[in-house]
Amino acid sequence: MVFIEYINNKISSSLYKGAPVILAIEKIAKNQPDQTLLIYRKGVDAVSFQKAASSMLKPHIIVSSCTLLHEDLGYVEDSPFIAVSSSNKYPTWIKSAEIVTLHASLVNQIAGQLSYKTSLLYWINSLSKLARPLGILSYQLPLITPQEDKFDTVLLYRFVKQHYKSIWAVLLLLCHIWYEKRFPLYAFAKAQFYKKRVLKLDVNELQKTLDTATVKNLNYDVVIPTMGRPKYLYDVLTDLAKQTVLPNRLVIIEQNADLNVATELSYLVEEDWPFQITHEFIHQTGACNARNLALSKTTALWVLLFDDDVRVTENFSSQVTKFLDDSKARCVTFACLQKGEQERLHTFKQWESFGSGCSIVHREIVERCKFDMALEHGYGEDVDYGMQIRQAGYDVIYAPQIQLLHLKAPVGGFRKPHLFPWQEDEVQPKPSPQIMYYRKKNYTHKQLLGYKMVQFFKTYGVFGTILPWKHYKKYQEAWNQSEKWASQL
C-alpha cells in the first residue's frame, strides 16, 4: 500500500512534494500498478482507516470516510445512494476527500479521461459516480468525523451538468426557486459551459479475483410464497431437486383466503424429494407476511428467496456458490429475465433495488431485516427490504451472469383486488400511499421534494385540466391525501 498525504490539494509528503495531488496520484499509480493507494489529508489517522478498510482493498472497490457532499443532490438523484447511514458502512458513490483508498490499476485505466485540474473532492466523486454503474463498488466508512468537505453551489451545478442528463440541472434550479426561494442563476449559467462526462473502463479486468476461489458446498434454505400455482411450483421444486448443490430445506408458505378450501400441493408429501420441505397452509394472503413467516422457519447460513414461477438450470446453485466465494457478498440479486429477454451487463455491480424472488441473503441479514407489513398488498416491499439491508451495513450486489427465467404465470397472485380504505375517497391519493410511505421512510427530505417536482410534470393532464394553476391545486390535494394515508400505514 502507498500512503499519499496532501494538504490544500498539494502533496505534503517527500514524494512529489508540492505537486498537484491528482497528478501525483496518476504518476504513482503508473509507477506502482499493483499497489493500493491511500490518499489522506494531513492530520488524518490513515493507519486506523487502512485497518478498517483492509478487507475491501480490491481493484474494483473505492472506500472513503463519510461526507454529505451536498444535500441538494437529493433534488436530482432518485436512488438509495443519497440517504447515507452515519453509523454503518454504506454503499454509495459519494466520496470524502479527507481520506480515500483505491487501486492503482483503476487509476491507470482512467488516467487522462478525467481532468486533474480540479480539486481532489471533485475528481474522486466524478470517478466514483461514473464508475459505479459500470461495476466499481463504492463505500463510506463512518470512522472519522468529517470536516467541511462538500461542494459549493457553483460546483454542485457543474457536477449535476457533467454527470446527469441536462434536464436535471434545470430541475435543480426549479427546486431552488420553488422550495428555497433562491435564484442561483450564475451557478446554473456557468454550468452550461461544461460537457457531460463519460468514462471507459475494462471492469472485467478489475473484477478478476486476486485469489484462487475455493468453492465449498453452499449451506442454504429456500423460501417460496405461493398462491394458486401448483403446477408452476412443482416445476420449481423439480429444478431445485436437480441442483448440483442441493438446498437443505424448502420453506413453502401456501396462501388462500378461502377458509373452506384445502391445499393444492399434495405432491409435497406424495413424492420423494432430496431435501426437507416445511409446508404451511395459511388463509392470510400477502407476500410480506408469507416471506416473513417463511424466513422465520429457516436455519441455514444462506437463504434463497424465490418466486413460484421461476426456472433455473442444473448449475444454478454451483454458479451461486462460486460467485459468493469470489465476491464475498452478503446479498446477491440475480438476473430474472422473461422469455426472449437478454441481459446486456456482463459484470456485477452495486444495485439500486432488490429482488424479493430472485436473491440470496446471508443469515446475518435474515436476522436483522424483515419485510415491512405496512407495504402489504401494495408496492415497494422489495426495494424497502433492500434499503434495510444497506442501512444495516451490507450491500446489494447484482449478478447478471447468474440468470433465472421468470414465467410471469397468468394465475395466482392477487386473486381479487385488495380494497384499500382510500379507494372510496373523492380525492384519490397520488402517488400511492405505499410509495409515499416508502419514500418518507428511506429517502431524504430533498429527495422527496425532487420526486414531488418530477411527478408534478409527469402527471400533467391526468386530473382533467391543462391549466397550470388548476393542475397544481388538484395535484397538491392528491399529494396531501397520499401523505395522510401514508402516515396511517
Strands 61-65 and 99-103: antiparallel
Asked if 139 and 63 touch (Cβ cutoff 8 Å), the reply is yes
Q: What per-residue confidence (pLDDT) applies to 419? A: 84
Give mean pLDDT, residues 103-116.
94
Task: Provide the percentage of residues in the chain whose pLDDT is more than 70.
Answer: 96
Q: pLDDT tens, 428-483? A: 999 999 999 999 999 999 999 999 999 999 999 999 888 999 999 999 999 999 99
Whether residue 303 is predicted with pLDDT greater than 60 in this model: the reply is yes
Residue given cell 450491500 in the structure block: 395
Kindly tell me the burial class for residue 321, based on how many C-beta atoms sit within 10 Å of its own C-beta (0-12, 13-18, 19 or more).
Answer: buried
**Grid coordinates representing 433?**
400511499
**Grid coordinates representing 139?**
463505500
Of the CA atoms within 13 Å of residue 364, those in its CB half-sphere come to: 9
Q: What per-residue confidence (pLDDT) applies to 214? A: 54
Residue given cell 506502482 in the structure block: 32
Which residues are CB-neighbours of 173 under 8 A, at least 6 positions away?
184, 185, 188
Spell out a b/e string for 243-279, using b for 16 or more CB atoms within 10 Å of the CB, else e: bebebbbbbbbbbbeeeeeeebbeebeeeeeeeeeee
Q: pLDDT tens, 383-418? A: 999 999 999 999 999 999 999 999 987 765 445 667
Helix/strand/coil (H, E, C) string of 8-67? CCEECCCCCCCCEHHHHHHHHHHHCCCCEEEEEECCCCHHHHHHHHHHHCCCCEEEEECC
Least confident of 98-107, 137-146, 440-449, 455-464: 137-146
Least confident of 22-26, 74-78, 398-402, 424-428: 424-428
- For the packed helices 381-391 and 433-442, what is the interaxial angle rounded to 10 degrees? 10
Host H or E run for residue 304: strand 302-306
C-alpha to C-alpha distance for 482 and 460, rounded to whole angstroms: 17
Cα four-point dihedral sign 42, 45, 47, 50: negative
Q: What per-residue confidence (pLDDT) applies to 289? A: 97
Q: What per-residue confidence (pLDDT) applies to 8? A: 92
Q: pLDDT tens, 221-257? A: 999 999 999 999 999 999 999 999 999 999 999 999 8
**Grid coordinates representing 17?**
512534494
| Cα-only R_g, the chain | 25
pLDDT bracket for residue 311 (50, 70, 90): very high
First and final CA of the chain: distance in angstroms? 51
Helices (H), 185-250: 185-191, 203-206, 230-241
Least confident of 5-19, 197-211, 272-286: 197-211
Q: pLDDT tens, 255-281? A: 998 898 999 999 999 999 999 999 999
Residue 481 corresponds to which amino acid?
Answer: Q
Phi, psi of 401 (to 5 degrees): -80, -15
Residue 374 corresponds to which amino acid?
Answer: A
Higher pLDDT, 372 or 115: 372
CATH architecture of 2-150: Alpha-Beta Complex (3.90)
Whether residue 100 is predicted with pLDDT greater than 60 in this model: the reply is yes
Angstrom CA distances, 239 to 69, 216, 219, stand at: 47, 21, 17
Q: What per-residue confidence (pLDDT) applies to 15? A: 81
Kindly tell me the burial class for residue 421, based on how many C-beta atoms sit within 10 Å of its own C-beta (0-12, 13-18, 19 or more).
Answer: exposed
C-alpha to C-alpha distance for 247 and 243, rounded to whole angstroms: 8
Q: What per-residue confidence (pLDDT) applies to 144? A: 72
Asked if 225 and 282 touch (Cβ cutoff 8 Å), the reply is no
Whether residue 209 is predicted with pLDDT greater than 70 in this model: the reply is no
Phi, psi of 282 (to 5 degrees): -125, 160
177 CA to centre of own chain: 30
Sheet holding 61-65, edge to edge: 10-11, 2-7, 36-41, 99-103, 61-65, 137-141, 90-91
Ranges of beta strands (E only) in 66-117 are: 90-91, 99-103
Residue 262 corresponds to which amino acid?
Answer: A
Q: Cis before residue 59, ω within 30 degrees of 0?
A: no
Asked if 183 and 176 touch (Cβ cutoff 8 Å), the reply is yes
Q: pLDDT tens, 152-170? A: 999 999 999 999 999 999 9
Q: What per-residue confidence (pLDDT) applies to 414? A: 45
pLDDT bracket for residue 146 (50, 70, 90): low
Proportion of the chain in helix, strand, coil states, percent, rounded to 5: 40, 20, 45
The dotted CATH code for 220-406 is 3.90.550.10
Give mean pLDDT, residues 359-370.
98
C-alpha to C-alpha distance for 223 and 358, rounded to whole angstroms: 11
Residues pairing with 62 in the sheet: 138
